[in-house]
A and B are shown apart, each in its own frame.
Chain A
Amino acid sequence: MALLETETLRKSFGGLLAVDGVSFKVEVGQITSLIGPNGAGKTTLFNLVTGLLPPDRGTVRFKDQSVTGWKPHQIARAGMSRTFQNPSLFGRMNVLENVMVGRHCCSDSGFWGCALRLPSQKREEQRIRAASLEELDFVGLAYLASFPASALTFGQRRMVELARALATEPEMLLLDEPASGLNTSEKRELGDLIIRVRKRGVTILLVEHDMSMVMGLSDSVVVLHNGAKIAEGTPVEIQNDEKVVRVYLGGEVENVAAG
């Protein structure tokens, strides 16, 4: 069953066609990767799916309902959570608070409840704190809970962002280049973490440049080039797809021997 489905999505900026009629599906419980060279339109596609940009044409269906034109917060509440290319932690909060922001859509005290510290709000706050700590523990950073987010290393920020995204209890997680800027061992840890997330039953859509990671993790891969989908298939199929190799290495393919 497809959890997320896009149909002929299209978006242009000025004269530039960033996403050109892309249709793809993400199956429940799978890890799907979205790859392509720089400027292929991956991030734009991400933003279209998560509501940060309205599409010019086409539809996005999530859990069998159309979410086209929804605002990001509505989509997030529907169960789709994401991370950003540059980890966008909230710099003036500590790590735990950052993750607690993720619990926002699973809680509902308003201004009055919070200002007056009503008992229900207090209980909810406890629940938020506990759940957030759990997520932090899940990514292995519970010991950093009281650190200011701005003091973390880059890799830690990524993990905290992931924990924050998980705190929204998503059915689907969209990761935008989670491995960029990480070193080799950090990448390996990230890969393990993504597997564990999937084990929790979260469907994952991944945009990534690190091919060893993509090929190692993905159930299926979608390749974008110049805003259009040029290939789709299992990692093995993609690695042996001539079109893809040409797009990636450029020039004549035969000059580069297979590894």
Chain B
Amino acid sequence: MLLQVKNLRCGYGSLEAVRGASLHVCTGEIVGLLGANGAGKTSLLKALVGLLLPWSGEVRIAGRETSGQPAWRCVSNSTVLVPEGKMIFAEMSVRENLLVGGYHNPDRRMQMELVFERFPRLRERQGQVAGTLSGGEQQMLAIGRALMARPMLLLLDEPSMGLAPLMVKEVFAEIFRMKDAGVTVLLVEQNATATLKVADRAYVMETGEIVLEGDAGDLAHHPLVKRAYLGQRDEDDSGQPRQK
């Protein structure tokens, strides 16, 4: 088991964003983490890499307890997070972005070749200032930058957000191909349909808790998934009808 999270609680100030979540990711898997906005998915990822200090619970990566370590240690644990909103270094060139991504990788030039092979578009634009790339290219750059560190575990936070449909497809195809490269992926997404297509298993989060877990194929038809997004109401919900 590559990643194991037990009873993780974390949040900001008095806001408890993750309320005792447990999950695991096995080596070689692609695992989806679904849920509506504000469900606590991003906070969970942040806690995994140390951007957010967990309040309690434990995080084990490859069997080693990592919670409480500063965020820059995650790379040495072979874990890299591709944060939400890309967060590329906008004023630096594509090449520089990648090189910084391989900060701890002594073979960074070789690794860059591999990334370029994977994303030929980045090679074409390697001298360009990253901020001028299109949204999809920026997302590729962000993933490429993460791969520069040769992670075992890749954490992706909403890679499809704000992308054109064609681009979304491409990004997901890329995620699917990660498997071949031997990278384990934990994918946080709002796009449930696409996620469940590429993932092996998935978890559904609601208000900081994991409410559902299962194989991707089963979940694709589970009513809870749609409820989590579109708020289809259960019969027993206490609210009265509001229509006039």
Contact = CB atoms under 8 A, between A and B. Distances in A.
**Does a CB–CB distance below 8 Å link A and B in the complex?**
yes
Interface of A: 31, 37-39, 152-154, 157, 177, 179-184, 187-188, 191, 209-219, 234-236, 239, 245, 248-253, 255-259
Contact of A37 (B190, B225, B227, B238): B190
A21 B223 CA distance: 35
Contacts of A209: 36-38
Given A38-B37, A218-B242, 13 more contacts: A37-B37, A182-B207, A210-B36, A211-B36, A212-B227, A216-B231, A216-B237, A248-B229, A255-B220, A256-B192, A256-B220, A257-B221, A258-B226
Instruction: Report, nearest first, the 5 A-B pairs whose CB atoms are least far apart.
Output: A211-B231, A251-B193, A250-B191, A212-B231, A180-B38
B222 to A, nearest CB: 9
A258 B229 CA distance: 12
B220 to A, nearest CB: 6
B43 to A, nearest CB: 10
B232 A239 contact: yes
Nearest to A181: B15
A248 B230 contact: yes
A216 B234 CA distance: 11
A153 B192 contact: no
Contact of A250 (B36, B190, B237): B190
B71 interface: no
B36 A257 contact: no
A38 B193 contact: no
Interface in B30-64: 36-38
Nearest to A154: B15
A213 B194 CA distance: 26
Interface string B178-207: 000000000000111110110000000001
Interface stretch (B72-80, B92-100, B107-115, B160-168): B160-168
Interface of B: 11, 13-17, 19, 36-38, 158, 160-162, 168, 190-194, 196-197, 207-208, 220-221, 223, 225-227, 229-233, 237-239, 242-244
Contacts of B225: 256
Contacts of A236: 243
Given A182-B207, A209-B37, A239 B243 contact: no
Contact of B208 (A183, A216, A245): A183
A191 B226 contact: no
A218 B196 CA distance: 31
A250 B19 contact: no
Residue with the highest number of chain B CB atoms closer than 10 Å, among A31, A154, A217? A154
Contact of A180 (B37, B196, B242): B37
Nearest to A182: B207
Contact of B244 (A177, A188, A219, A258): A219
A102 B160 CA distance: 40
Contacts of B38: 177, 179-181, 209-210
B194 A259 contact: no
B186 to A, nearest CB: 18
Contacts of B13: 154
A74 B230 CA distance: 36
